[in-house]
Amino acid sequence: MSDPEVPSGAIASDAAALPGGTTAGDRVAALAGELASAAAERGPATYMEVCGTHTMAISRFGLRELFPEAIRLVSGPGCPVCVTATGDLDVAVALARQPQVTLVTFGDLVRVPASRSTLADERAAGADVRVVYSAADAVELAARLPEREVVFVGIGFETTAPTVAAAVLTARDRGLPNFSLLSLHKTMPGALRALLDAEEMAITGFLLPGHVSVITGSDCYRFVAEEYGVGGVVAGFEAEDVLEALLMLARQRTPAIEIGYRRAVHPEGNLVAQRLMAEVFEPCDASWRGLGTIPGSGLRLAPAFRSYAAEERLPVETGETVEPAGCACGTVLRGALDPVDCPLFASRCTPASPVGPCMVSSEGSCAARYRYRDVEGLEAEL
């Protein structure tokens, strides 16, 4: 593919004039041309992005239409709502059913199917389930409702964990005995290692997450190149950022970890945020949808803060875990199945009536492909 045209999706309408008279669309077209040349030189490659924001950006900008045939880009386990295991959702549901509990979490999670219901179902049945924008909001709620046990369900990667750690410190400093945390936080390096150990996909390189890497830096991914011989580039979120990162990957002759998102990410990351996480959390084994239990890939409260751990303060029974019937989210999250190849995609499973979390979450790969299917030229295939 040489000198590709910008597709009719959002890129063209986002094309703002840049100094020198070029537009973002010009730059995107130029990068796509360079990517086509680099890919032709390099040969076939499979890259995986592991960031929900990248998933949405790639679909929103219609970038797949710009990729040369030699490049295949798949989505991996980058959506925090999607990778949350059904068994962990069952614990959240069981907590919500406790009469003294006010369960608080982020928006998308309330619609994700657990084994027998969703948190939204529990709310409709009378449970006190509330949606907040931050963990700090949950702490405020605990202060306002001293007669309630306010349980915050914390999900997310290294991007979110420092803010939740700060909320736990605030709860401690304010002496709030009725605040607790169900920590379902996960860390990204363990997931990359699990994907590579599984050898299910022949991954040539990773498009590494931008927001997560602001906190972690890029050094934590060096094992990917050094131990597995797989490259990685930290990418930003504009169309140009994604294409530039892919271009850097395609030009790698020796696998390496590089930073494309240089305006925000440094090799060592944000040391203040890392210290905050290390003070409040400690690593633990975590259960990931599609990847199973990954040693050391979760964050639980450190011993000094264990009194805020919901699972210890309010132990619950959950019963047998039942996955959504027919849902292939686990395979999608490993990059081994394209969302549009799930038999339920856009038929039984839509954002209005989602079967699995990848269609529920605003960062889910199934939701992204459904929402922007006209940009991606999928309408005729469905």
- Binding residues vs ligand SF4 (CB under 6 A): 327-329, 332, 339, 342, 344-345, 349, 355-356, 358-359, 366
- Taking the least distance from each CB to ligand SF4, the nearer of 229 and 326 is 326
Closest residue to ligand SF4 using C-beta atoms = 356
- Taking the least distance from each CB to ligand SF4, the nearer of 89 and 235 is 89
> Residue 337 Cβ, how far from ligand SF4 at the closest point, in Å?
7
- Taking the least distance from each CB to ligand SF4, the nearer of 299 and 359 is 359
> Residue 329 Cβ, how far from ligand SF4 at the closest point, in Å?
4
- Taking the least distance from each CB to ligand SF4, the nearer of 248 and 328 is 328
Q: Is 252 exposed, middle or buried (0-12, 13-18, 19+ CB in 10 A)?
A: buried
- Taking the least distance from each CB to ligand SF4, the nearer of 156 and 356 is 356
- Taking the least distance from each CB to ligand SF4, the nearer of 89 and 327 is 327
> Residue 339 Cβ, how far from ligand SF4 at the closest point, in Å?
5
> Residue 330 Cβ, how far from ligand SF4 at the closest point, in Å?
8
> Residue 164 Cβ, how far from ligand SF4 at the closest point, in Å?
26
> Residue 359 Cβ, how far from ligand SF4 at the closest point, in Å?
4
Q: What's the CA dihedral at 323, 207, 43, 62 to 10 degrees? A: 80
